[in-house]
Chains A and B, each alone.
Chain A
Amino acid sequence: MKADYLDKLERIYEHDYKKLLLIPAFMIVFFLIIIGLTQASTGYPFYRDISLKGGSSITVYTSIEYNLNELITWSRSALSEDANVRILREPISGRIIGYDFEFSSIFEVEELKSIFQERFGFEMGDDVFSVGTQSPQIAGSFFFDAIIVLIFAFILETIIVLYIFRNFLPAMSIVFSTFIDLLLVVGLLDLIGFEVGLASIGAMLMLLGFSTDSDILLSTSIFKRQEGSLISRIKSALKTQLTMTIAALTAFSVMFFFSNVMIIKQIAIVLIFGILFDIMTTWILSAGLQRIYLERRK
């Protein structure tokens, strides 16, 4: 019966919170392995898109229908390189807007225009042909910047959380769970082979803020309020958190599945994964650690 089931879950959450910590522990180990494998095969902890790796990106603006597999095969033979090819569609009508090609090498724009003109059968004028190129050396420098920015953001967050809570352990458990959140997101992106770009890095920074949001909500319930039992306070905060999570998930899922703008997709997917993992890292990992701390304090 449903009520028994929920009661059972509540009992587990209330009493077996130390055992529940096995879930995040298992996930951390699993995704660390995935990240390790990615690092070993590519030399980087995640797959990078053109902005962080270099290459060329071409978009042809047309509503004519072409076979995706044929385009992939053609691009490989025409430019001696595998390409990521995407069809761009309008979200509601599904009408084709264009085709997106991504290559790892840099090509001359004139050369590209004539090759594409031959395949598509119409002139690649400026109104139809969009092309972006990024040198790999500079992409490497941008990647380095992205890592610095993430590290710096963590340091800033730690300082602010320490300042607010003035209590080392709760502050550290917040920073730790935020870090794990990010780690799990990167791991899952690696697992599905999604390429991270500068926009995703921006989204990861937003995730730091969002994750801290929920952790502060939890910690405020546990530490700053006094009414009711600890569990009833946590349950009340959890209800708020779940509403927030479902609302945000809905918003970003719509954006991911219906947008054809790569920047939006890169931001949305990081936030979707981050929000999902955040439930676990806040309410099982961080809550568990803080409850252990509270018990030891008694």
Chain B
Amino acid sequence: MKRKFGIKTLINEYTLIVLAVFLVISFFAIHPYHPQGVYVSFTKEPASESVPSGVIVNKINDFKITNLSTYYHVLNNLPSNTVRVSYLEESIPYVYSEKVSYPFLVNLSEDPVNLGLVVIEVPETNLNFGLDIEGGTKVLLEPEERLLPEEIDNILGVLRERLNIYGLKEIPISYVQDLSGNQFFRLEFAGQSQEEVRELLEREGKFEARIGNTTVFTGEDILGVCITGVQCGLSLQPRVLRNSQGQETIYWEFSFQIDITEEAAKDFARATANLSSGECTAAGCYLNQTLDFYIDNKLLEGGSLNIGSSLRGEELTTASIQGTRPSKTEAQSEMRKMQAMLQARRMPITLNIVRAETISPSLGRAFLNNIFTVFIMAIIAVDLVIGLRYKTFRIILPIIFITLSEIFITIGVAGFIGWTLDLASIAGIIASVGTGINDQIVITDEVIRGGRKSGKYDTMKKRIKTAFFIVMACYAASVATMIPLIFASAGIIRGFAITTIIGISVGVFITRPAYARICEHILKKE
């Protein structure tokens, strides 16, 4: 009988089509191809201003870079101290655009020359692996006192600002709570050791506010920075601006107070007394010099404030820091940043390191290889068992194919959502696929049972429907039991819960329906 490929086939085989689609999507998500070069895992000074992390450097000053050894070779043989970095940035999967950084200066006398780029060989896949595989330090900090929500935001901001100051950008910092309500901050450093992290947190930087070259006040002169509450002058308000044509635009203005010493107030008055008027905007008129914030003699990014004209020569122990932005979220974010800068010289409250893990990259890689090897061994062993039971390759091969597809798609989904695969996540994938083989066995038996008997109880569809009833019930139970694990214990094994949920969902909705259909095809031929 000739088979025509038409709409009817598509509908009948939709489970197989869905499987194929997800395999393709996973292939793109896992992205097992990358261009030549070196991968920037994170940036420090001086490159951090011009080169983002997560890109592939393919040229330095027009010298081609193909791998780590060519990179270091070029670095050690730079003809001048001006460096221009060409890099490839991926806009959509597999499509790269080449960009060139602004030229920046390096110190050629250093050995090795420090561009401020931490580079690794271009990764084989797009998957994010956790620090317990790539190597690095993870810390969990607990504040000594209980924090209000605004204080939590403030600490996050101060931590980010401090790390920025010491040249570490894009460090993942997050706030977590465990089920008992204990508060924690979680930080992950790809390249630092525990001692370096401790120093970063404890170090006290020298804060200065300058007008021109004159220091007007230092960190010690700041008596308080308003973080919470209207009582100390914190506000975030919308304002309406009407232009000459009568058109209205809304912008948002934030303001918060800081208290400084009398000495500092006098210095400020003295420094501003002889300044002339600068520009005037819709928000007001300002003096011709700004108030600049420095930590350890470095100007903070975004740390220059315009000084309102009315403040010229004024001695004020309470000053108001104001700013405007087009949207509320931008204004709030800017306000937090300002508050953080004013506190960044040291942490406003004590944070204790309650958990710290440093993994060496070699060990992390060894663990990953071990898991991979052991898993392949487990699959081979299981397939032998299944082979003994069913005594036919017709069923064994599809089971192997479906098991591998399940892992591939689960990893693909994790890659697609950008989930970081740490050891716990990988353990979750393995455990869920391991227990998932059970459902395939249930389906096989249901289909076989249906194939051998016939009668009013045993139509093929009803058999599969019974199997799926079992599968759906177990699915609901398994997902439900994993959900609390996402929030427990400061999220330490959150990865396990997430990948288990993804794994069993992929199994229930994609791979096992496809397997049932394959089973039907195979058994019809018998």
Q: Which A residues contact B (CB, under 8 angstroms)?
A: 51, 59, 61, 88, 90-92, 97-98, 109-110, 126-135, 137-138, 141-142, 144-146, 148-149, 152-153, 156-157, 160-161, 164, 198-199, 201-203, 205-206, 208-210, 212-213, 216-217, 220, 224-227, 236, 239-240, 243-244, 246-248, 250-252, 254-255, 258-261, 263-264, 267, 271
Contact = CB atoms under 8 A, between A and B. Distances in A.
Interface in B330-368: 352-363, 366-367
A97 B483 CA distance: 35
Contacts of B500: 202, 206
Given A145-B178, A210-B438, A244-B442, A138 B142 contact: yes
Nearest to B367: A261
A224 to B, nearest CB: 7
B473 A164 contact: yes
Given A138-B355, A236-B449, A250-B378, A129 B360 contact: yes
Interface of B is mostly: helix
B370 interface: yes
Sort chain B's interface into a size bin: 35 or more
B218 to A, nearest CB: 32
Interface stretch (B244-252, B255-263, B316-324, B491-499): B491-499
A130 B441 contact: no
Given A161-B477, A255-B374, A202 B458 contact: no
B377 A91 contact: yes
Given A129-B360, A145-B179, A226-B457, A138 B466 contact: no
Contact of B371 (A208, A243, A248, A264): A264
A153 B195 contact: no
Contact of A61 (B366, B428, B493): B366
27 contacts: A97-B370, A109-B358, A110-B195, A130-B357, A132-B356, A134-B354, A135-B354, A137-B354, A138-B140, A138-B355, A138-B490, A148-B488, A156-B480, A161-B473, A164-B473, A198-B489, A202-B485, A202-B500, A206-B481, A209-B474, A224-B469, A248-B437, A250-B382, A254-B377, A254-B378, A259-B374, A267-B427
A91 B360 contact: no
B77 interface: no
A244 B466 contact: no
B281 interface: no
Q: Which 9 A-B pairs have the closest CB atoms?
A: A209-B478, A153-B481, A145-B488, A132-B357, A142-B489, A156-B480, A254-B378, A244-B438, A135-B354
Contact of B484 (A153, A227, A247, A260): A153
B441 A202 contact: no
B101 to A, nearest CB: 29
Q: Give the residue among B366, B470, B481, B504 with the most A Cβ atoms within 10 A.
A: B481
B378 A216 contact: no
B493 A91 contact: no
B424 interface: yes
A251 B437 contact: yes
A212 to B, nearest CB: 5
Contact of B477 (A98, A209, A244): A209
B358 A126 contact: yes
Interface in B436-476: 437-439, 441-442, 445, 449, 453, 455, 457-458, 466, 469-470, 473-474, 476
